[in-house]
A and B are shown apart, each in its own frame.
Chain A
Amino acid sequence: MIITKKKDRSKLLKTLEGYNSFYLIGCSECASLCGTGNEEALKEMAEDLKAQGKTVTGMIVPKTGCQTLGTKVELKKDKDALDKTDAIVVMSCGAGTQSAVEIYPDKAVYPSNDTLFLGNMTRFQMFDERCSLCGECVIDKTGGICPVTNCPKGLLNGPCGGTKDGNCEVSDEIKCAWVRIYERQKKLGELDKMKEILPPKDWSAKQGPHKLYTRADAAEGDKKGKDKK
C-alpha cells in the first residue's frame, strides 16, 4: 500500500490561511490504514480548521481515492457542499490528491499528507518498504528479497565491504540485504543463483510518467482511435 504521513499541522494551516471554507476528502484504503485519511483523521482536521474560524462544508471518505472514475461518482452525491467550498483538502496520497484536481479543475486542491513509499504493514500501523517500483523486477534471482530497495546502494551482485556482522554499513537497524539474500538462498539450497552476474539495471523502465492500459481490447481500441483520426 501507499504509505503517507500527516504534514506538520501548523504549517499546513498556514498554507490554507487564505481560504475560508474547505471540503475534506479522505480514502478508505491505504490512507485509512495509515491513519491519515480515515474518518477520525478527517474529523480531527475539521476541528482544527474550525478552531481557526474556518468553515467545513462537508467531507467524504471515498472507497479508493486514486480510482478517479469511482471517486468522481461518489463526489457527485455531495455536489452542493463541494460547490460551496473555496478549497478542497485531500487526506490521502499524492495520487488521490491529483484525482481531485482532475475532477475539480476549477477549485484549489491541497494535500494534507506527505506520500512516502510503497509499504508493507508488518504490524498495526508499522510500515516497511520492500519494493521501490523499479519497473524491472529482479527478485526471481535474489531469493525473493529485493536488493534494489533493501540495500541502500541497490547493489545487484552481492554485499559491499561494509557489511558488519550481518548489518548494513548505513545503519545498525538495517540488516544487510545481501546477507539476508545469502541466508535465504542457502536455506533453499539455491546458493548457485548468487553466482550469476546480474547486468546493470535498465532504469528507463522506471522513467515516468508511466501509462499502462491493460484492457483486453486495448490494442483494438488503439486501432479504432487511430482509424478515427
Chain B
Amino acid sequence: MSFKDTLESGKFVVTAEVGPPKGTDISVMKHDMELLKGKLDAVNVTDNQSAVMRICSLAVCKLVLEHGLEPILQMTCRDRNRIALQSDLLGASVLGIRNVLCMTGDHVSAGDHKSARPVYDIESVQLLQVVDSLNNGKDMSGNDLKGATSFFQGAVVTPESNPLEPQLMKFEKKVKAGANFFQTQAIYNIEKFKEFMAFARKFPVKVMAGLVVLKSAGMANFLNNFVPGIKVPQELIDEMKAAGKEKALDTGLNITARHIRQLKEEKICDGVHIMAIGMEDKVPVILERAGLL
C-alpha cells in the first residue's frame, strides 16, 4: 500500500529519514536503505539539510525508489526560485515520486556556504499552493500543463515554538493551502504534545510526531539551548544522565521506543517520523522495542 493510502486508512504510520551524503560515495546510504527496507511506510529525503550542500534530494529519492522504499521528497524554498521548484516537481513526478514535504528551509547562514544568496522567491505556504496547482494541471502562472502531477503533499510544524500562536496560525494556513499531512519538529513532552494535537485534530489532516533520538544528556542540553522549537524535559535529561555514558545511547533508543508506544496506544497522533540523524541503522532496533516489527 502507498504511504498515502496507509495514512488515509487510519493505520499508524512510521517514516524515517535518509540524509544524502556530501560526495558521490553512497555506500553507507545504500546500506541504510537495505536495513530500512520493508520496515517503514515511507522515508524522507532531506534537502541540503541545515543549508549544508550535499547530493540533491530528487536524485536520492529516485535511489530510494529503486531500493524498494517509498520516498518523501523534502523541498525547501531556499535554493530555487519558482521556475526551478516547479520544474523539479515535474521532474519528480515523472520519476515516480509521489510525496512531497514543503518547507521554507534553514537560512544559508546555518550552513557551509554562508556567502550564498538565499532565494526564498516563495515560501512553504505558497509552495503547498503550487503543488496543489500542479496537481490540478496548471503552473503558477496559470498555464496549462500537458499532464498534471499527483502529489500527496505535506508540511512541517513546530508544536513547541515560542510564542506558539503565530506558529498555529501558520499551521492553519498550510492546511488551507493544501497540506494533507504534517510531520512535526522533534517533540519530547507527550503531555504537551497532546495539547497541540487537541488543536490539530480540528483540521482534516494527518499528523506524525517528529522524534529525535537522544544520544546523551549533553545532546539534550544542546537541543534545549541551541535548537529552536525543541524542549527536552528535565526528567528525560535526568534519565539520560542516570544511564551513564555507556548506556546513554541505549537509553535514548528506549525513550524513543517508549514514546512511539504511547503515541500509538493512546492514539494521540497518526504516526511518527523518526529522525535518527546519522544513526539510521538504529531505526530497526527502535521499531522492534516499540513493538512495531
Q: Which residues of A contact B (CB under 8 A)?
A: 152-166, 169-171, 178-179, 181-182, 191, 194-195, 197, 199-201, 203
Q: Is A160 a contact partner of B104 (Cβ separation < 8 A)?
A: yes
Instruction: Judge if B281 is at the interface, Cβ distance under 8 Å.
Output: no
The list of the 8 closest CB pairs from A to B, nearest first, reads: A158-B170, A164-B228, A157-B125, A161-B158, A182-B166, A200-B122, A153-B120, A160-B104
Question: Whose C-beta in chain B lies nearest to the C-beta of A155?
Answer: B123
B229, A161: Cβ atoms closer than 8 Å: yes
CA distance A197 to B228 in the complex (A): 24
A159, A164, A171: the one within 8 Å of B167 (CB): A159
- Closest residue on chain B to residue A152 by CB atoms: B107
With A169-B106, A169-B107, A197-B125 known as contacts, the answer to whether A158 contacts B120 (CB < 8 A) is: no
Knowing A163-B229, A199-B126, the reply to whether A182 touches B165 (Cβ < 8 A) is yes
Counting CB contacts under 8 A, is B80 at the interface? no
Chain A contacts for B78, CB-based, 8 A? 153
Task: Closest B residue to A165 by CB, please name it.
Answer: B162
- The reply to whether A200 and B104 form a contact with Cβ atoms under 8 Å apart is no
Is the interface on chain B under 10, 10 to 19, 20 to 34, or 35 or more residues?
Answer: 35 or more
> Is B161 an interface residue, CB under 8 A from the partner?
yes
Q: What are 27 sample pairs from A and B whose C-beta atoms fall under 8 A apart?
A: A154-B123, A156-B125, A157-B170, A157-B173, A158-B125, A158-B167, A158-B169, A158-B173, A161-B157, A161-B185, A162-B107, A162-B229, A163-B163, A163-B166, A163-B167, A163-B229, A164-B162, A164-B229, A191-B169, A194-B166, A195-B169, A195-B173, A199-B126, A200-B82, A200-B121, A200-B122, A201-B121
Assess whether B156 is interfacial by the CB under 8 Å rule. yes
Task: Tell me the complex Cα distance, A226–B166, Å.
Answer: 53
Residue from A161, A162, A179, A201 in contact with B163 in the complex, judged by beta carbons closer than 8 Å: A179
Is B236 positioned at the interface, with any CB of A under 8 Å from its CB? no
Q: Are A159 and B107 in contact (CB under 8 A)?
A: no
B41 CB to closest chain A CB (Å) equals 23
Expressed in whole angstroms, the minimum distance between the Cβ of B116 and any Cβ of chain A is 13
Q: Which of B98-142 contact A (CB under 8 A)?
A: 104, 106-107, 109-110, 118, 120-126, 129, 140
- What CA separation (Å) do A182 and B172 show in the bound complex? 15
The answer for the CA separation of A170 and B107 in the assembled complex, in Å, is 7
- Asked if residues B228 and A200 are in contact (CB atoms below 8 Å), the reply is no
A200 to B142, CA, bound (A): 13
The residue of chain B having its C-beta at the shortest distance from the C-beta of A196 within the complex is B173
Chain B residues within an 8 Å CB radius of A155: 104, 120, 123
* Beta-carbon nearest neighbor of B161 in chain A: A163
